Structure 1
Amino acid sequence: MRHLVGFLVGLALAPVVALGTGWVLPRFVDLNAAGRSFTTTGGLVSLGALAVVALLVGLALALPRLTPLLPGVAGLTLVALTAAHHLRPDLAERAPALPGLEGAVTLLELGAYLPLGLALFLPMLVPARWAGRERGHEVTEEEYFDGLYDEDYEEPRGARPGTGPAPGGHHRRGAGAD
């Protein structure tokens, strides 16, 4: 089940990365052209959006409990988008007008998604990421009760018969302490 969810989330992550970075690109270009810094409101919003995209990519790469399909599918999708754009650039004209599409097409032309896609794909090749987590030896009910009622139970050394705790919880001092 985790692989199916990882596959679907990986398919959704690629357009989020492409459109998120595509949305930020023209805003960074405008900031640079106007000679402004990131400390303006527009710069901080753009930087925050880029930080969210970077956080999503970082989480997809770094969390070991996630299925390797999540970053792998996202990476393959970004590589496929780059290859498709370089083989058939007219396909981008058919895409619906979405916020960030213009910047994403610019980044596709530059090939910026290719190294990111390959970096996302590489964890899929690591065999340790495919192994499920190891579970410790689970004790069966029979083993549990066998451990409780061991027949070879020994009384502590130095204990004399009749000196154990009395039914009321008090320790008797000798055989005739009643």
Structure 2
Amino acid sequence: MRHLAGLLIGLVVTAAVLAGGGWAVQQAAGGSVAAAPDSQTLWIALGSMAAVGLVVGLVVAGRVSPLATFLPSMVLLAWTVVYALDVNRALSFVPVEPSMHQLVREAGAGARTLLTTGVFALLGVALFIPVLMPSRWSRRDDDVDEEYETTPERSYY
């Protein structure tokens, strides 16, 4: 059951990094080099970045399931590998159609920035490290475990 919860949390983290982080980067950058963001937009973007960082940090430090970090790490690393092999194909995944909602296009433009600067590769590796910890895959031991075999009173150790 905890791995199902980890899978759902992984979907949320993936959406937070791709959409939330992308949108925040686009807003903080001001959309273009010529126009600097106003103070309110900048504070909202920085708050969004802090929220995404908090979500990623809680998932990396928490002990829900390794799937919670495995899913977003694989998405970010796979997109980075596609970018390294074929730039045009990787950038074709970014939503730029005029029929898309403005927020989706802004999040896509920010995700493009994060992809091309290597931030997604960095985050992907950081999210993959907890998957390698064996303690993440096992359950916590209860204090009273009836299946635990006790040692005899006179043991050698």
- TM-score scaled by length of structure 1: 0.66
Q: Does 1:116 align with 2:129?
A: no
Percent of aligned pairs with the same residue?
Answer: 35
Structure having greater relative contact order (Cα 8 Å, sep ≥ 6) = 2
Q: Does 1:85 align with 2:92?
A: no
Kept in 2: contact 1:11–1:77 (CA 8 A): no
Higher helix fraction: Structure 1 or Structure 2? 2
**Deviation digits for residues 40-90 of structure 1, max 9, x if unmatched?**
2111111111111011101101112x1111012211211111112232333
Which residue of structure 2 lines up, in the alignment, with residue 19 of structure 1? 19
Q: Distance in 1 between matches of 2:3 and 2:34?
A: 45
Which residue of structure 1 lines up, in the alignment, with residue 44 of structure 2? 45
SS at match of 2:131: helix
Give 5+ residue unaligned stretches, structure 1.
140-178
Which residue of structure 2 lines up, in the alignment, with residue 143 of structure 1? none
Which of the numbers 67, 70, 93 marks the counterpart of 2:68?
Answer: 70
Kept in 1: contact 2:28–2:37 (CA 8 A): no
Question: How large is the Cα RMSD of the aligned pairs?
Answer: 2.4
**Deviation digits for residues 122-150 of structure 1, max 9, x if unmatched?**
111111122211112268xxxxxxxxxxx
Q: Distance in 1 between matches of 2:65 and 2:141?
A: 15
Give 5+ residue unaligned stretches, structure 2.
97-103, 147-157
Kept in 2: contact 1:6–1:70 (CA 8 A): yes
Quote how far apart the aligned CAs of 1:118 are.
0.6
Q: Does 1:136 align with 2:135?
A: no
Which residue of structure 2 lines up, in the alignment, with residue 7 of structure 1? 7
Q: Which moved more, 1:17-26 or 1:44-53?
A: 17-26
Quote how far apart the aligned CAs of 1:8 are.
3.3
Q: Does 1:103 align with 2:110?
A: yes
- TM-score scaled by length of structure 2: 0.74
